[in-house]
A and B are shown apart, each in its own frame.
Chain A
Amino acid sequence: MTDLSSTERLIGQLFGDAARTERHDNLIIGEAPFDGQVLAVLGTVDQTYIGADAALAMARAVLDVMRDHPGRAILIIVDNSGHRLGRWDELVANNGCVAHLTKCLDLARRRGHRVIGLVNELAVSAGFMALGMSTDACYALPQAEVRVMALNAMSRVTKIPLDRLEELCKTSPVLGPGVRNFVRVGALRGVWEDDPAEELRRALADNPGEEDMRQMLALERGGRTQAQAITHMVRAGLEA
């Protein structure tokens, strides 16, 4: 008997023992009945890295849902350390595989599947882009972490001293890791503070529709105060 991953425990919390999911390496693929409908469930475990294999395996699962269960809602449980850093993954073009996964998730949205993301432990950079940001609404558990890069690595690359970065992070939502910051910049729709099953029920009922609301949320939440105005300016063809 192996220890259950946090993703599997979360599936238990959400669906009891009614979930029919299987674990393949660091992926969880399956379905679960919920409030009289069946949801497709797709997740990763143990803060896995998204390499070409994982990206394609998840894309396969999304394509299967589109083909076999038109309209079925898809819950993506996100737990990753970002894309895999390795020579082989670059040789076979991991960026193309990750882009393919995002195309599949995006097409599912457009074909009427609700695609809901939930970061349960960690989402890093391209791993968040590949999974969380391609959904029609992405949420996070309160204890989860979302980041582009850990602060000490960011300090090395930007040559900004770590203590200064830490100071700046106290006020700036655009710089540092953290679920609250990603809520403020509009990348997360919200945090699931309550019972996850109740939160899932609410998320399924709250259909954000076709339009991308993230710039608007970012403005309301003070996380990105300029993005929406700039986008409107360019869309209108204004020179200055």
Chain B
Amino acid sequence: MSIARHSFLEATARARLAGILDTGSFREFCGPGARRTSPHLKELGMPVAFDDGVAVGEGRIEGRPVLVAAQEGGFMGGAVGEIHGAKIAGLIERALDTRPDGVVLLLDSGGVRLHEANAGLIGMGEIQRRVFDARHAGIPFIVAIGGRNGCYGGTSIVARSCDWIIGSEQGRLSISGPEVIEAVEGIEEFDAQDKALVWRTMGLKHRRLLKEADYLVADDMAAFREAILSCLGKSRPLDLDALEQEHAALSTRIERFRDCADARDIWSRLGINAPERIPELEADEFNSLIEALEGKAP
């Protein structure tokens, strides 16, 4: 029984930064004081935020320099608009100048902000281009997912363009939101109200089992911090050999699970004896199972 957990899920973007970074180390760029609000939301007569829903800046984790962005899920579902996207793009450009031990993205977003859709979409492409620029320059990118909005749409593509993905079981990582699938394809294809279905299809436990995510942690700020720390300074190759390996792994996956209709079918095929128990496992039990499955000593 764990006590005095500090929930990542419940925290605001700035509380997450306070929980992840060394005390007092965060210095924000283009923060609320700059009052750079979305001109497009204003045009629509909608509420704006002084930070446009994302805090970006620099700080330290165990003394090691990092650049960080934290999306505020409480504002427009963390969705990416012109200013929001441009702040993250600038942060990543800065990484080329300051060469931190890692760029940490705390993602909590439904994707593109529809109220400024075109600017949001190109913003995603610009973020992704810069992630690749910085990765090719040897700077590691670490994504953490554990907020209420999950990581959807273009943000889910950005996440998988980074080196490492960490998430809690409350986190979700998928391109389409459940409501969108249900609205377009019908409730037979996806029942968005079925939370258990949503979590086992899109949740981070399933993503970890597929190796789409690297670390499953408890919904605890200290656990996120520790996992992020373990990734600092570690880059993954992005050359032709690495992409051939990724291609082989993805191709094997889609053939192996071609006839699977539910995540439980996939888990069973992975060799899990009691797939129905996966959702109830605590993070440490789940990780012991992963170690056993993947052949590492527990």
Enumerate chain B residues within 8 angstroms of A237, measured Cβ to Cβ. Answer: 27, 29, 58, 94
Contact in complex: B160, A175 (CB < 8 Å): no
Enumerate chain B residues within 8 angstroms of A67, measured Cβ to Cβ. Answer: 240
Q: How far is the CA of A176 from the CA of B58 in the complex (A)?
A: 35
> A168 contacts the other chain (Cβ, under 8 Å)?
yes
Interface of B is mostly: helix
Enumerate chain B residues within 8 angstroms of A66, measured Cβ to Cβ. Answer: 240
B-contact 0/1 string along A96-123, CB 8 Å cutoff:
1111101110110011000000000000
A-contact 0/1 string along B82-118, CB 8 Å cutoff:
1101110111011001000000000000001011111
Contact in complex: B263, A91 (CB < 8 Å): yes
Contacts A63-B247, A126-B153 given; does A230 touch B44 at CB 8 Å: no
Tell me the nearest residue of chain A to B188, going by C-beta.
Answer: A87
The one of B40, B185, B202 in contact with A85, judged by C-beta atoms closer than 8 angstroms, is B185
Contact in complex: A234, B94 (CB < 8 Å): yes
A-B contact count (CB 8 A): 263
> B126 contacts the other chain (Cβ, under 8 Å)?
yes
> B39 contacts the other chain (Cβ, under 8 Å)?
yes
Shortest Cβ distance from residue A51 to the other chain B in the assembled complex, whole angstroms? 9
> B122 contacts the other chain (Cβ, under 8 Å)?
yes
Contacts A95-B174, A96-B160 given; does A212 touch B250 at CB 8 Å: no
Stretch with Cβ within 8 A of A (4 or more), from B2-10, B254-262, B279-287:
B254-262
Shortest Cβ distance from residue A164 to the other chain B in the assembled complex, whole angstroms? 9
* A91, A130, A173, A232 interface centre (most CB from chain B within 10 Å): A91
Q: How far is the CA of A63 from the CA of B239 in the complex (A)?
A: 11
Shortest Cβ distance from residue B132 to the other chain A in the assembled complex, whole angstroms? 5
B-contact 0/1 string along A71-90, CB 8 Å cutoff:
00000000000010111111
Contact in complex: A129, B154 (CB < 8 Å): yes
Tell me the nearest residue of chain A to B152, going by C-beta.
Answer: A95
> B75 contacts the other chain (Cβ, under 8 Å)?
no
Q: How far is the CA of A185 from the CA of B118 in the complex (A)?
A: 7
Contact in complex: A87, B261 (CB < 8 Å): yes
Number of residues from A at the complex interface, CB < 8 A:
78
> A134 contacts the other chain (Cβ, under 8 Å)?
yes
Beta-carbon contacts under 8 Å, B189-221 to A: 189-190, 201-202, 206-207, 210, 212
Contact in complex: A235, B94 (CB < 8 Å): yes
Contact in complex: A226, B82 (CB < 8 Å): yes
* A88, A102, A176, A234 interface centre (most CB from chain B within 10 Å): A234
> B64 contacts the other chain (Cβ, under 8 Å)?
no
Contact in complex: A182, B39 (CB < 8 Å): no
> B15 contacts the other chain (Cβ, under 8 Å)?
no
List 26 A-B residue pairs with CB atoms under 8 Å apart, sorted by A's residue number: A85-B180, A90-B175, A91-B206, A91-B266, A96-B210, A97-B254, A99-B157, A103-B238, A125-B153, A125-B154, A126-B153, A126-B157, A129-B121, A148-B121, A149-B117, A176-B118, A215-B86, A226-B82, A227-B83, A233-B34, A233-B36, A234-B29, A234-B86, A235-B94, A236-B94, A237-B29
Query: With contacts A56-B254, A181-B118, A226-B39 known, what are 10 further pairs, Cβ within 8 A?
Result: A63-B240, A87-B261, A88-B261, A93-B212, A95-B159, A129-B121, A148-B121, A174-B118, A174-B119, A231-B87
